[in-house]
Amino acid sequence: MFSLQPSFDAISDKFIDENSEVVSALAAIHPSLTTQLVYEVILAANEKTQHVGSSFPANAPLAMWQFHITGFLREKLCALGWTKVDGKGGVAYVISPCKEHAIRVFAGNKYVGLRDGNVSNRSIKGNTLKDDIYPLLNSDKGTTIWTLLHYRFGELMRLELSQPKSFAKGKINDWGTRIKIPDVKFNIPTTPRMKEKVEVGVVPVKRKKKA
């Protein structure tokens, strides 16, 4: 049995948001992990969450985002050699081919993707990151956990892939490296709009003269 624990290496806290550095940081985890892949995951999840009716529970959209982002991320990465691993209580990870990195999706608070502010997960399941045990992980170097945090504000989705360092009352309260994923803008109108008003008038009918 191998314990899936967050990395507590002596790494100074770092927020990465410059595009070239973001690309490099993701590639350092695994070359298959790209901003384009995450972008495609979010668009696919957005397509699946468009039809939430008024009769659904208030938390339905957030739950659906969590469900679909996790599913599409694992689907895409598993096609590239990653492995999906399910833990207790529906916890879902995707493990890199080298088994040195694991990603789990979390809904985050309003500080996701921002350099300043107390970014954290919205649920109280943060401490499950350090409690799960899996037989499939077999890496001499240990497995570093990354959390893909997402936060939607209007038609904007903010994202970051970050290393949790410590936990308090089910929330992640300290981070190592934080990698800001470029924002995704949906720009989906709620109702069709016409650019200009169309005036309907009377079309005159010309009568032919009798021969």
Note whether residue 52 is domain-resident: yes
Note whether residue 198 is domain-resident: no
- Whether residue 133 has pLDDT greater than 60: no
Q: Which of 141, 149, 142, 150 is nearest to 175 (CA)?
A: 149
Note whether residue 16 is domain-resident: no
CA distance 127 to 124: 8
- Whether residue 124 has pLDDT greater than 70: no
Note whether residue 169 is domain-resident: yes
Structure tokens at 58: 């208030």
Average pLDDT for residues 95-112, to the nearest whole number?
Answer: 92
Q: Which is more confidently placed, 156 or 193?
A: 156
Q: With bands split at pLDDT 50, 70 and 90, how would you rate the model's confidence at 188?
A: low
Note whether residue 144 is domain-resident: yes
Statement: the pTM of the whole predicted model exceeds 0.85: no
Instruction: Indicate the average pLDDT of the chain.
Output: 78
Question: Where in the chain does DSSP place strands (E)?
Answer: 2-3, 14-16, 83-86, 92-95, 101-107, 133-134, 144-153, 156-168, 171-185
Residue 205, pLDDT score: 53
> Which tens digit of pLDDT belongs to each residue from 40-91?
999 999 988 877 666 666 666 778 888 999 999 999 999 999 999 887 767 7
Q: Which of 69, 77, 155 is nearest to 106 (CA)?
A: 69
Q: With bands split at pLDDT 50, 70 and 90, how would you rate the model's confidence at 169?
A: confident
Residue 56, pLDDT score: 65
Residue 192, pLDDT score: 41
CA distance 16 to 162: 10
What is the phi-psi region of residue 52: left when phi exceeds 0, alpha when psi lies from -120 to 50, beta otherwise? beta
Q: Which is more confidently placed, 110 or 60?
A: 110
Note whether residue 121 is domain-resident: yes
Cβ density class 29-67: b for 16+ within 10 Å, e for less: bbebbebeebeebbebbbeebeeeeeeeeeeeebebbbb
CA distance 86 to 198: 56
Residue 154, pLDDT score: 86
Note whether residue 101 is domain-resident: yes
Average pLDDT for residues 143-165, to the nearest whole number?
Answer: 91
Residue 195, pLDDT score: 45
Tell me the three-class secondary structure of 125-165, residue by residue.
Answer: CHHHHHCCEECCCCCCCCCEEEEEEEEEECCEEEEEEEEEE
C-alpha torsion angle, residues 74, 75, 76, 81 (rounded to 10): 80
Q: Range of 134's domain?
A: 22-185
* Number of domains, the chain: 1
Q: With bands split at pLDDT 50, 70 and 90, how would you rate the model's confidence at 187?
A: confident
Note whether residue 50 is domain-resident: yes
